[in-house]
Amino acid sequence: GEDVEQSLFLSVREGDSSVINCTYTDSSSTYLYWYKQEPGAGLQLLTYIFSNMDMKQDQRLTVLLNKKDKHLSLRIADTQTGDSAIYFCAEMSDSWGKLQFGAGTQVVVTP
């Protein structure tokens, strides 16, 4: 079956690094995504990684993928107050485009 799990809450001080973790169960996952949702808004695509990659860096964002453990993480360097939001991990296991989401991790950045 398909299941994506995330920790529910993360508190981080402004300027520190944030690490959000995600585990998935579908070994056939081809693409893995991180989306950001601010209050009252839709989902903003942050970054993605192919299943044949181990790491991807995009400015302040670093994605790490451990395929053996089916573990995905998102690191945000120099976290800012504007990074406060809910972050969703999602997997796509087929080419038709069905995304399976986790429940989201609420990140709160304190001054």
End-to-end CA distance of the chain: 41
Residue among 85 and 90 whose Cβ is closer to another protein: 90
Q: Which ranges of the chain would DSSP assign to H, the alpha helix?
A: none
Q: What is the largest CA-CA distance in the chain?
A: 42
| Residue 104 near another protein by CB under 8 A | yes
Residue 4's CB is within 10 A of a number of other CB atoms, namely: 22
Shortest gap between Cβ of 76 and another protein (angstroms)?
19
Residue tagged 């299943």 (tokens): 51
Binding flag, residue 31, another protein (CB under 8 A): yes
The residue (of 39 and 111) whose beta carbon lies closer to another protein is: 39
- State the minimum distance, in angstroms, from the CB of residue 23 to another protein: 14
Half-sphere exposure of 79 (CA within 13 A, CB side): 22
Residue of 9, 11, 15, 41 interacting with another protein (CB under 8 A): 41
Candidate residues 43, 58, 59, 111; the one interacting with another protein per rule CB under 8 A: 43
3-state helix, strand, coil in the chain (%, to 5): 5, 55, 40
73 interacts with another protein by CB under 8 A: no
Please say which residue, 44 or 80, places its beta carbon nearer to another protein: 44
